[in-house]
Chain A
């Protein structure tokens, strides 16, 4: 069954159940269906059939989520526009997609030159209509924009067919099964593709979605929702655990069924402690670039101490059944041996058909390779990984974080790991940075109270690392700088080290 049909039936079959809990208010699937239908009416009345790519201002309210489904049932794609990011960047995005229409639920008026805004709040009530319009699977469901190295945001279009592939994989997997009784955390901006998993999966099973209140301190709110509403499914980026870690001894959440992670390195020492807070949950470490539709595979954490990993980072496991992984070296040659590091490349039905109107980038990022006698199109992830003899993949770092110092190739993760052996229970980020004299050096940022002198740490590292890998600077900070998605802000870290 197509994802869209499944959504239609899931909503229609669960009308009495609770769909969303947003800013302290509950919304049933009936409420949700009514909002979807009203917004569909407005779309039909205003937007021509031929207009497919529609901007969506991402507010934390029922209308915004209903707008996504309304657009999908109308066979259109959403382009998330986050009002918290600079106006000029949003303007660039809408210009690139040539979107003539924008849906906005907030009272705050946002206008962009050349596009008409449809206010989705206070629309006239209408009968429930969840029947999807005709559309083709190759049409887009959403386009997400990520920061491009050239300064222009680059668009990643995901088709309905890509989404179908992704949902089929989650459906097939018994270790991540949701039920209508589940209460699921949704802590992500809709501009971050992990959000697709956290709003879409619960909707398909009639479960309820708990979003973080606007402007709140994220990890406090996560905890508050967890204890107040006894959440059963937690999808988080690993950095949330770093912030909650000093309070783990206060957290007992036996009702949690699934604790899933994506979007960063998951460290085994944190998970070992976190597991005691959620003793009955399965812990899954998902991996996936936006270009391959949210997740492309995962590794199930094994509390018996047999967890695989590298440099203290938990493995990312195997690809989904419909996807292929392979590793290539710097010359784009496929690496056949195990335990050898290379760039992870992914092929299959979840891979985007290419960056939005960027042939130059597409030529660099995709290639065709013959696998089992079949030509397959691979996406180069930019992630440095290695594969063990059982076919599990270990995440090492971004290729960009594999830096060269004095001609030596250095993996920053290895430095972080060496320090974690000396200083326990802290978040440690190693980075290259440019000194005032324009030389590249290695620096380290560590969270929390300083308990050892920099000299002590450096002396320890001198015993375990080659001298070119020993950092020149170590700085202690209260907490790591994070970007809008809750991921560690590497550029900010380089700035901290440079000053």
Chain B
């Protein structure tokens, strides 16, 4: 899976949970930049990404996830160690 494909799937996960596409995801994007991205929806987004990419995040990764860049790094790591 290349980066473009990962980014597309991440965007799709956000859109399907938040039910809008009114945002852009750069490495610096955090929850306060995206409408509706808060603690409950965050968990839904995480499970959606896990399902779409067939990966399982570690609690340690989730706990240190502060922006989209962290999320992308965690995804890469999970895909590489699979």
Does A45 interact with chain B (Cβ within 8 Å)?
no
Q: Is B55 an interface residue (CB 8 A)?
A: no
Interface centre among B40, B47, B63 (most CB of A within 10 A): B63
Q: How many chain-A residues does the 8 Å CB contact rule pick out? A: 17
Interface size class of B (residues with CB under 8 A): 10 to 19
Which residues between 25 and 75 of chain B lie within 8 Å of chain A, taking CB atoms? 39-40, 42-44, 47, 51, 58-60, 62-63
Query: How many Å lie between the Cα of A167 and that of B9 in the bound state?
Result: 54
Q: How far is the CA of A243 from the CA of B40 in the complex (A)?
A: 11
A220 to B62, CA, bound (A): 7
A127 CB within 8 Å of chain B: no
A244 to B44 alpha-carbon distance, docked (Å)? 15
A478→B63 contact, CB < 8 A = no
> A247 contacts B58, CB within 8 Å?
yes
Interface of chain A: mostly helix, strand, loop or mixed:
helix
Q: Is A224 located at the chain interface by the 8 A CB criterion?
A: yes
Closest chain A residue to B39 by CB distance? A217
A223 to B59, CA, bound (A): 8
Question: Does the CB pair A218–B39 fall under 8 Å?
Answer: yes
Q: Are A216 and B39 in contact (CB under 8 A)?
A: yes
Closest to B43 in A: A479
Quick one: which of B43, B51, B60 contacts A217, CB cutoff 8 A?
A: B43
Contact A223 to B43, CB < 8 A, known contacts A247-B58, A250-B58: no
A448 → chain B, closest Cβ, in Å? 9
Say yes or no: B39 contacts A250, CB within 8 Å: no
Q: Which residues of B contact A247 (CB under 8 A)?
A: 58-59
Q: Closest chain B residue to A481 by CB distance?
A: B40
Residue of B nearest to A221 (CB): B63
Asked whether, in the complex, the Cβ of B47 is within 8 Å of the Cβ of A250, the reply is no
Residues of B within 8 A of A224 (CB): 63
Q: Shortest Cβ distance from A449 into chain B, in angstroms?
A: 8
Which of B40, B44, B63 interacts with A220 by CB under 8 Å?
B63
Among A216, A251, A449, point to the contact of B59 (Cβ < 8 A): A251
CA distance A218 to B43 in the complex (A): 11
Docked complex Cα distance between A218 and B39 (Å): 8
Nearest chain-A residue to B51 (Cβ)?
A: A449
Besides A221-B63, A243-B43, A244-B59, 18 other A-B contacts (C-beta < 8 A): A215-B39, A217-B39, A217-B42, A217-B43, A220-B59, A220-B62, A220-B63, A223-B59, A223-B63, A224-B63, A247-B58, A250-B59, A250-B60, A449-B51, A478-B43, A479-B40, A479-B43, A479-B44
- Can you list 27 A-B contacts with CB-CB less than 8 angstroms, sorted by A residue number? A215-B39, A216-B39, A217-B39, A217-B42, A217-B43, A218-B39, A220-B59, A220-B62, A220-B63, A221-B63, A223-B59, A223-B63, A224-B63, A227-B60, A243-B43, A244-B59, A247-B59, A250-B59, A250-B60, A251-B59, A449-B51, A478-B43, A478-B44, A478-B47, A479-B40, A479-B43, A479-B44
Q: Which residues of B contact A (CB under 8 A)?
A: 39-40, 42-44, 47, 51, 58-60, 62-63
